[in-house]
């Protein structure tokens, strides 16, 4: 029987953590009762350096439920690292891992379908949104643009898929082979290439609390995704520079033609426009190259992806009963 691990990264989620646990625990009990997963399956909360009461609540759950485990980061390292830590921590202990945001906006009920697909031979099962009706206009448009660019850069990229997925044991164990510190899991996992499939669901509204993904964080994540898997932005900058150079050559021929036939060439507006255009292109080019240099800077330092302050991964049932 499948031993399942559900990994839930959380950051300042004390308003919803108990509700999340209640729903996931009840769902897990149903899977166990129907003999779809084993009774020793796990629920792992990864606290990404919360500064509210999230970790204290997780510790309470650990004391009362033998299936619950917890990891606490020393500070906020980011959602991608929290997911990575959770998956790699329990990869050897389970047969399949499901990652799911703690706000449960992704429909956890389709985990049932994911397990069926896993039993039919899929090593990776992606949870994919069937629509974006709950998003505001800017997010819908920016998401479409982002996935369009990512498809050009990384054809394996799954559109409208975020962090909701099932991975087999061998897939989860392989994550440790990827040593980069700039993590973008929704780009890395499709590169593994094992058999995969999709399940579709409708995203729900958040029950309580506020989303931790501001527009700034979403833009930063998008830039990380694009620059972590391709040098296409540098190539695009090169093409823009080449096009600008060719435009300059044609414009020089035009000016020479005008002077030859004694036609005055207005200079002020064209000069200012050219300066602004060229300076803008140069700054864009420098910033794109700087983004890649910055990534190299972080990679060569070889700093740890995260630091774990507390962990209950290795607690066994006897220890939990003693702590109770």
User: Which is nearest to 61 in space by CA: 99, 23, 96?
Assistant: 23
228, 233, 234, 240: CA torsion to nearest 10: 180
| pLDDT value of position 324 | 36
| pLDDT value of position 321 | 36
3 state SS for the chain: CCCEEEEEEECCCCCCHHHHHHHHHHHHHHHHHCCCCCCCCEEEEEECCCCCCHHHHHHHHHHHCCCEEEEEECCCCCHHHHHHHHHHHHCCCCCEEEECCCCCCCCHHHHHHHHHHHHCCCCEEEEEECCCCCCCHHHHHHHHHHHHHHHHHCCCCCCCEEEEEEEEHHHHHHHHHCCCCCCCHHHHHHHHCCCEEEEEECCCCCCCCCCCCCHHHHHHHHHHHHHCCCCHHHHHHHHHHHHHHHHHHHHHHHHHHHHHCCCCCCCHHHHHHHHHHHHHHHHHHHHHHHHHHHHHHHHHHCCCCCCEEEECCCCCHHHHHHHC
Taking the C-alpha atoms of residue 124 and residue 158, their distance in angstroms, rounded to an integer, is 12
pTM, rounded to two decimals: 0.76
| pLDDT value of position 315 | 55
Residues of the chain with pLDDT under 70: 132-139, 154-155, 206-218, 220-221, 225, 262-270, 272-273, 315-324
> Residue 278: which residues within 8 A CB-CB, separation 6 or more?
244
| pLDDT value of position 279 | 77
Query: Which tokens in the block code for residue 227?
Result: 């620059």
How many Cβ atoms are within 10 Å of 10's Cβ, its own excluded? 25
Query: Which tokens in the block code for residue 230?
Result: 């391709």
């Amino acid at each position: 029987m499948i031993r399942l691990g559900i990994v839930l990264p959380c950051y300042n989620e004390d308003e919803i953590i108990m509700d999340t646990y209640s729903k996931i625990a009840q769902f897990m009990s149903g899977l166990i009762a129907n003999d779809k997963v084993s009774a020793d399956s796990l629920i792992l909360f990864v606290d990404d350096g919360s500064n509210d009461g999230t970790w204290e609540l997780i510790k309470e759950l650990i004391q009362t439920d033998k299936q619950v485990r917890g990891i606490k980061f020393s500070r906020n390292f980011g959602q991608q690292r929290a997911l990575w830590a959770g998956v790699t921590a329990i990869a050897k202990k389970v047969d399949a891992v499901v990652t799911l945001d703690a706000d449960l906006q992704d429909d956890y009920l389709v985990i049932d379908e994911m397990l069926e697909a896993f039993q039919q031979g899929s090593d990776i099962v992606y949870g994919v949104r069937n629509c974006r009706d709950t998003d505001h206009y800017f997010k819908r448009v920016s998401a479409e643009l982002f996935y369009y660019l990512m498809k050009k850069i990384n054809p394996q990229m799954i559109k409208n898929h975020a962090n909701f997925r099932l991975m087999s044991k061998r897939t989860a164990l392989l994550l440790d082979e990827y040593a980069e510190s700039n993590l973008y899991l929704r780009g890395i996992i499709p590169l593994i290439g094992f058999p995969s499939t999709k399940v579709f669901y409708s995203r729900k509204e958040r029950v309580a609390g506020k989303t931790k993904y501001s527009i700034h964080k979403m833009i930063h994540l998008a830039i990380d995704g694009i620059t972590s898997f391709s040098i296409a932005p540098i190539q695009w900058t090169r093409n823009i520079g080449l096009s600008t150079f060719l435009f300059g050559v044609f414009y020089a021929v035009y000016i020479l033609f005008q002077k030859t036939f004694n036609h005055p060439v207005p200079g002020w507006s064209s000069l200012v426009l050219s300066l602004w255009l060229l300076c803008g292109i140069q700054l864009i080019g420098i910033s794109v190259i700087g983004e890649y240099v910055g990534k190299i800077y972080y990679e060569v330092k070889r700093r740890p992806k995260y630091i774990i302050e507390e962990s209950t991964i290795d607690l066994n049932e006897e220890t939990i009963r003693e702590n109770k």
